[in-house]
Amino acid sequence: MDESIIRLQAIKKYYDESTHVLEDLNLIIHKGAWTSIMGPSGSGKTTLLNIIGCLDSATAGTVFINGTEITKLNQTQLTRFRRENIGLIFQQYHLVPYLTALENVMLAQYYHGVIDEGKAIEALKKVGLEHRLDHIPSHLSGGEQQRVCIARALINEPKILLADEPTGNLDQKNGEIVLDLIKQLHAEGHTIILVTHNPEIAKLGQRIITVIDGKICSDSTCTSEINET
Amino acid sequence: MFLRILGKSILKRKSRIAIAVVSVLIGASVATALLTVSLDVSEKVSLEFRKYGANLLIVPHSDTIEVGFPGVEFGSVTEQRYINESDIWKIKAIYWRNNVMGFAPFLYQVVTARSDQAEQRIVLAGTYFNRTIHIQSPYAPQDPTTFTTGVQIISPWWHIKGDWIHDQNDTSSCMVGAAVAEKLNLSVGDTISVTYTEQYGSTANTSAYNFTVVGIIMTDGYEDNQIFVNLQVAQEISQRPGKLHTIQVSALCNACPVETFADEIKELIPYVDGRSVKQLVNAEMDILGKIQNMMFLVTIVALIASALGVMTTMITSVIERQKEIGLMKSVGAENRKIISLFLSEATIIGVIGGIIGYLVGLILAQLIGLSVFSLSITPRFEIIPIAIGISVGVALLASILPVRRAVSVEPAIVLRGE
């Protein structure tokens, strides 16, 4: 039985003739796995994350997520698919500056079509922010903002969590709090894909993929083959 | 949740929204001011024109023969006809009765006028100076049953040396035109003798009357060559009791051509024709048309400037909020949610700008009215929905490009960190 939740086949991403970001990239990620993606800046790891997160489209190739070929979906269908299946955790947190912590979480509920304030409060309790519900982002520390971002990513119960350098802007203590939360989410069965420059954080995953020049390199060996855990 | 996002988004960007509101406000205030001035001045300019005399002449219907050249007619081929004085009240019983500012009947007769020093054949005109008539059958039950009218009402611009004839039963006073006064060497208080000879076959019947000159009329028009007496005096002299030659009507209506009045009057008095005083009507329509065209153009320019202001502000706002828009999309906002957010903001900007613009426009209207037309402008509350509607329309139109730009923001922008 195929337990893959994400399958990328011969993915290419060109911005123009001379800018080839991803080259014939193949990747399978299994349900419930924690995959860390590493690579130097400009290697294409964020573009890879964007394509998996339905935020960007591939120039060529096919992408299956949870059994759906997302490369065939139009923009509106992609938006719906994303909000139902994928949670996003950003390095810059990206909270709406004029909404409170609670409202930022409820924003994802609103776009999902189901607003449940109690559930949003629960999500913030889960990340330890029950005392910060009515604070706007500028009144929260970086770690607290990232936890709001995690609560927002979780609120619609997505199967896949994509994290782009989630601890990149945090001090060690707050970084550990955030990583503990991600570990907890993984333990609960979420599929985690985490982009990081930090090898120690990458090692928390069951699998480490290194992307260089738009190709997947693993164990110092560049390859275009399908990698399986 | 939508209202929370909308409200907080507006409060967060108060200065930006304020700039957009000011842009709308400028357009709305100019539109309000010029619309108010245009409507008010149209009425007041029409009223001013009414001071320069009647704009509709009612005459008895007469048959004519065309002589072969377009527009050239042979004249009346039937006997001299008259209008019955008993029908005159009907002019105030038509549908547009409230727009009939006044009217004056006239019966003319050529007479011989004699003073101590000279003699002259002159037109004697009998008319109402300032008479209250009874409206026998008002158009609507609530309408008044009396109406005060006369030449003093429809021709207030006449320059009078001396006085008007105030008593409608006065049979011994007359007013004479300036040219008559000069030819007969008359002054106010002098006596004038008038004789009229009616020919019946081979016999002639001559009647003579003496009048005291109470006023000398100066119009620089045909009135300067006439003698004016109360209507019943002229009817008695010419032995045509209850008869009139013409009725001069002063009609005020911006929404309808003066011919409409003529048609209405003809319905009630079928044996008359109405002829508009073309020169006056055309001048009036021409001036009003020019005023309105100018104001329309200025309003359009102001609204375009206003729309450009709103568009620039909103495009700046979209550029500033690219990440916010990208974030909203990345957490699941469809384009229609983004569109509705921006259009709602534009609507609020339009409503606020429209209301404040209306109030500022009223002040502007007063300034324009006083400085340009020397008239005080009456506020018109029916313009409020128009001002708000125009403002919202301008704000929404100006939002089309910014909204397109917002919709084109890619959600990937939040991950790229651009």
Q: State pLDDT tens for residues B343-401.
A: 999 999 999 999 999 999 999 888 888 887 777 888 888 888 988 999 999 999 999 99
Give the CA distances from residue A34 to residues A22, A182, B52, in Å, rounded to whole numbers and listed in that order.
22, 10, 94
Tell me the mean pLDDT in the region A53-60. 87
Q: State pLDDT tens for residues B372-382.
A: 777 788 888 88
Q: What is the pLDDT of residue B226?
A: 93
B30 token code pair:
């100019």
Q: What are phi and psi of A226, to 5 degrees?
A: -70, 130
CA distance A152 to chain B (A): 9
Chain A residues with CB-CB distance to B414 below 8 A: 55, 88, 90, 92, 94
B244 token code pair:
């009139």
Tell me the mean pLDDT in the region B76-103. 83
Q: What is the pLDDT of residue B255?
A: 58
> Does B331 contact A107 at a Cβ distance shorter than 8 Å?
yes
| CB of B9 less than 8 A from some CB of A | yes
Q: What is the pLDDT of residue A1?
A: 44
| CB of B170 less than 8 A from some CB of A | no
Task: Round to whole Å and give the CA distance between B221 and B199.
Answer: 31
| CB of A217 less than 8 A from some CB of B | no
Q: What is the pTM of this model?
A: 0.64
> Does B417 contact A91 at a Cβ distance shorter than 8 Å?
yes
Chain B residues with CB-CB distance to A80 below 8 A: 332, 334
Residue B232: name the closest of B240, B223, B224 by CA.
B240
How many other C-beta atoms lie within 10 A of the C-beta of residue A64? Answer: 16
Chain centroid to CA B156: how far? 17
Q: Are A204 and A180 in contact (CB under 8 A)?
A: no
Q: What is the pLDDT of residue A174?
A: 79
Task: Round to whole Å and give the CA distance between B351 and B280.
Answer: 42
Task: Round to whole Å and give the CA distance between B312 and B401.
Answer: 10
CA distance A1 to chain B (A): 31
Tell me the mean pLDDT in the region B105-123. 90
> Does A108 contact B330 at a Cβ distance shorter than 8 Å?
no
Runs of H (alpha helix) within A24-141: 45-52, 75-85, 101-112, 117-126
Task: Round to whole Å and give the CA distance between B413 and B356.
Answer: 38
Q: Are B292 and B37 in contact (CB under 8 A)?
A: no
Residue B343: name the closest of B9, B30, B23 by CA.
B9
Task: Round to whole Å and give the CA distance between B342 and B403.
Answer: 7
Q: What are phi and psi of A220, to 5 degrees?
A: 65, 15
- List the single residue in B1, B329, B412 with the smallest CB-CB distance to A79: B329
> Does A88 contact B331 at a Cβ distance shorter than 8 Å?
yes
Q: What is the pLDDT of residue B130?
A: 92
B188 band by pLDDT with thresholds 50, 70 and 90: very high
CA distance A109 to chain B (A): 9
Chain A to chain B Cβ contacts (< 8 Å): 83
Q: State pLDDT tens for residues A5-29.
A: 899 998 888 887 777 888 888 888 8
Q: What is the pLDDT of residue B349?
A: 92
Which A positions 83-102 lie with beta carbon below 8 A of chain B? 83, 88, 90-92, 94-99
Q: Are B115 and B182 in contact (CB under 8 A)?
A: no
B124 band by pLDDT with thresholds 50, 70 and 90: very high
Res. A94: pLDDT tops 70: yes
Helix (H, G, I), strand (E, B) or coil at B285: helix
Tell me the mean pLDDT in the region B232-260. 84
Q: Average pLDDT over chain B, rounded to whole?
A: 85
Strand B159-162 vs strand B203-218: parallel, antiparallel, or unpaired?
A: antiparallel
Residue B37: name the closest of B381, B388, B361, B385 by CA.
B361
Res. B58: pLDDT tops 70: yes
Residue B175 is classified by DSSP as: E
- Count, residues in chain B: 418
| Residues above pLDDT 90, as percent of chain A | 12
Q: What is the pLDDT of residue B219?
A: 86
Residue type, B66: E
Q: Are A121 and A133 in contact (CB under 8 A)?
A: yes
Provide the ipTM.
0.83
Task: Round to whole Å and give the CA distance between B394 and B386.
Answer: 12
